[in-house]
Structure 1
Amino acid sequence: MTDATQATTKKRPVYTNIHVTQIVSYRLPPAGIVSILHRISGLLMFLLLPFVIWMFDTSLTSEISYETFTSAFVSGIGFLPGWFIKLVALALIWGYLHHFIAGVRHLWMDATHSVSKAQGHSSAIVTLVLGVVLTVALGAKLFGLY
């Protein structure tokens, strides 16, 4: 580069030692939040897989085991109260819904090759809102509000 072009180009800041407070104060765009939550929801579903298998097995084995399954959400299991079991199930519901919706979003973006900042922003907002609305609706059913 010549001296004239070096003088006209804007120097970019270089961050070598980034402190944790700088990382925490950084505001992610909605697409970044959806991406991180997609990974968290996948991990949550993986970690709760034994709970899902127990729910599936207990609900289908017999009528008596189905009664055990439904009573776990009312009276709890061992030292865990029923509301805690419902919260775990609600976390699993959110994890599945968010992971599914974000996965469809990623597939749609890959299939249509329509990746722009505006579309990524709007589809991320739709993903977040749809995941929360569906989770609240199913959570209300889980906790017996309707």
Structure 2
Amino acid sequence: MVGNILKHKRPVNLDLKTIHFPITAIASILHRVSGVMIFVGLAILIWLLGLSLSSVAGFASAMAIADNFFMKIILWGILTAFAYHVVGGFRHIFMDFGLIKENFESGQKTAKISFIVTAALSVLALILVW
């Protein structure tokens, strides 16, 4: 009986262009991606902190590095990832405590709200970095 299940031919769609994820799946995937970005970004931030605390010259070096255009983009990306991860985390906490219903409609609404709030926080982070 198990052999018959394994031999059963099912259609497999591996064309990622034709797969359309719901917004809740996109929000979940982005929450995981933002967590990885924060993990990697923390290494950069800790390195900059260590450099800035090493000496007066180290502080000047850290300031020069942070003033670089590409580093500003990296810092803005880290702050945006942190903002999305926090907003998504609160979304999950509210669902866990029953403050938001756990159905598809409310999941869609809260995902859209989290994207909007993150966009606003991202603009704020952009202003702060520059």
What TM-score range do you get, normalising by the shorter chain?
A: 0.7 to 0.9
Would you say how many aligned residue pairs link Structure 1 and Structure 2?
121
Question: 2:119 & 2:53 partners in 1: Cα distance?
Answer: 29
> Mind listing any 5+ residue stretches in structure 1 that lack a counterpart?
1-13, 75-81
CA deviations 1:43-94 (Å, max 9, x no partner) are: 11122232021122234444443322221123xxxxxxx1111111111111
Q: In the alignment, does 2:116 pair up with 1:129?
A: yes
Residue number among 83, 100, 110 corresponding to 1:97 in the alignment: 83
Residue number among 97, 101, 107 corresponding to 1:114 in the alignment: 101
* SS, match of residue 25 in structure 1: coil
Residue number among 6, 13, 20 corresponding to 1:18 in the alignment: 13
Kept after mapping to 1: 8 A contact 2:83/2:122:
yes
Question: 1:132 & 1:73 partners in 2: Cα distance?
Answer: 23
Query: Partner residue of 1:79?
Result: none
Question: 1:15 & 1:98 partners in 2: Cα distance?
Answer: 37
Identity of aligned residues (%): 23
What amino acid sits opposite 1:87 in the alignment?
I
TM-score, normalisation: structure 1: 0.73
Q: In the alignment, does 2:49 pair up with 1:56?
A: yes
> Mind listing any 5+ residue stretches in structure 2 that lack a counterpart?
1-8
TM-score, normalisation: structure 2: 0.81
Q: Which entry has the higher C-alpha Rg, 1 or 2?
A: 1
Q: In the alignment, does 2:69 pair up with 1:65?
A: no
What amino acid sits opposite 1:124 in the alignment?
A
